[in-house]
Structure 1
């Protein structure tokens, strides 16, 4: 499987394998990419009916019982602060867990075997994006699954097609290594990532919660899967710009496919 991505000369980038000199920037990018979802999580939790009921009911009850508006305002402040800390907890906890697990030694975790890898997207000698891939340890019977991990793109480099290019790199690697499907998990609140995966043909297979705090905040994890099998597949670029055109040919199930570029930004893999 091979592909070539043609980009605007205004925003060049290339994807290469991770090197140890990238470590600090990779960890910073990953941590910042996760923690930037804290405000969205806070707002999402704030808009939940049970939260609004608590924010209105508790101060009102204090006013009725004590007649003090100061206590009501203090109660509201404490409730909002508690909600912010709760919204921050799942992301901080997730980052800490990852930094103690696979991200503690990226070379050992991702580059010690043939079935896994970790890539960085480099733009202007800066690490602009990251993604990793590991084999699923206990896949369903008869399936060979590769799991996509740690996809993140820096704020200043978004909108350049880097995320899509990183995902395509994982898909190429999966095909080259003989995997039958690619799976991944991402937070529902990560709307940008969810849109990228859906637009590239991934299908939602389920949802779950990381912990009881995530369940209380209604911040679910979405399970995605992309199968190689089938007679066709569709990839949505999510852009109507012709600056990024993809020439993408591959062999899936012993049939040759070709990506046809469409003016409205849709790429369709069709038989040729």
Structure 2
């Protein structure tokens, strides 16, 4: 196995960090589309359209074409939701990593480096909702380097950072379709504390929920 080094972010890592994050988020589009198709509301709507057109046209071609177009439109809506999130992230903290994560004393970004290339990233900064917790952000590992313990090492790095800075723990947010991430976080000792709907209309319509996980690293005396 190639040697992997976990180190703090340097300014020359910027484009690679953006790439790792963008590719990682884009990988969730197919599973998100499947999630939408499994929703009873989506299945009922497609079934009603198909039956209505089949009854009115007495032809199989028109309802099949209509359902195909609706599926394509649904995929485009999911792509739009993810691309909007990616673009917003790139324009906000990921374009200002130094100012957002490296300059403040209780924030940081780390990268996993293998053969001189960035293959994984994670960051954290103080939670806006609870001053006792750091919030884990931008966790991603390149697909070819998964299953090698890199994500676990990045998680431990954030937990150790929180403990050293005197925080009670770490919180993070993930989505219903990121099942591998959920398993990882639960394996690392995180516990799900709540679920809530994503703010986008398409997310509310398709029951695309977000989940908040919490890890306690320091017990109160």
Scaled by the length of structure 2, the TM-score of the pair is 0.94
Instruction: Specify the SS of the correspondent of 2:106.
Output: coil
**Residue from 122, 126, 130 that aligns with 2:113:** 122
Partner of 2:2: 11
**Does 2:108 correspond to 1:108?**
no
Within 5 Å, which residues of 2 pair with 1:209-220? 209-211=197-199, 212-220=201-209
Q: Which structure 1 residue ranges, 4+ long, deviate > 4 Å from structure 2?
A: none
Preserved CA contact (<8 Å) 1:11 1:160: no
Partner of 2:26: 35
**Residue from 60, 71, 75 that aligns with 1:80:** 71
Counterparts of 1:12 and 1:35 in 2: how far apart (Å)?
A: 27
Shift of 1:144: 1.6
- My pick for the range that moved more, 219-228 or 31-40, is 219-228
Preserved CA contact (<8 Å) 2:42 2:206: no
Preserved CA contact (<8 Å) 2:36 2:206: yes
Instruction: Specify the SS of the correspondent of 1:201.
Output: coil
Q: Which structure has greater helix proportion? A: 2
Partner of 1:242: none
Counterparts of 1:171 and 1:183 in 2: how far apart (Å)?
A: 10
**Does 2:215 correspond to 1:204?**
no
User: Between Structure 1 and Structure 2, how many residues are aligned?
Assistant: 220
Counterparts of 2:67 and 2:192 in 1: how far apart (Å)?
A: 38
**Does 2:150 correspond to 1:162?**
yes
Q: Where does structure 1 lack aligned partners over 5 or more consecutive residues?
A: 1-9, 231-252, 255-272
Task: Please give the per-residue CA displacement for 1:172-192, whole angstroms capped at 9, x wherever unaligned.
Answer: 111111111111111121111
Shift of 1:147: 0.5
**Residue from 62, 65, 82 that aligns with 1:71:** 62
Preserved CA contact (<8 Å) 1:187 1:220: yes
**Residue from 47, 50, 63 that aligns with 1:59:** 50
Q: Where does structure 2 lack aligned partners over 5 or more consecutive residues?
A: none
Q: Sort the Cα spacing of 1:193 and 1:171 in 2 relative to 1 into closer, same or farther, 3 A.
A: same
Instruction: Specify the SS of the correspondent of 2:105.
Output: coil
Q: Which structure has greater strand proportion? A: 1
Shift of 1:138: 4.1
Task: Please give the per-residue CA displacement for 1:85-110, whole angstroms capped at 9, x wherever unaligned.
Answer: 12223211211111121112111110
Preserved CA contact (<8 Å) 1:87 1:217: no
Partner of 1:237: none
Tell me how large the CA RMSD over aligned residues is.
1.5
**Does 2:214 correspond to 1:228?**
no
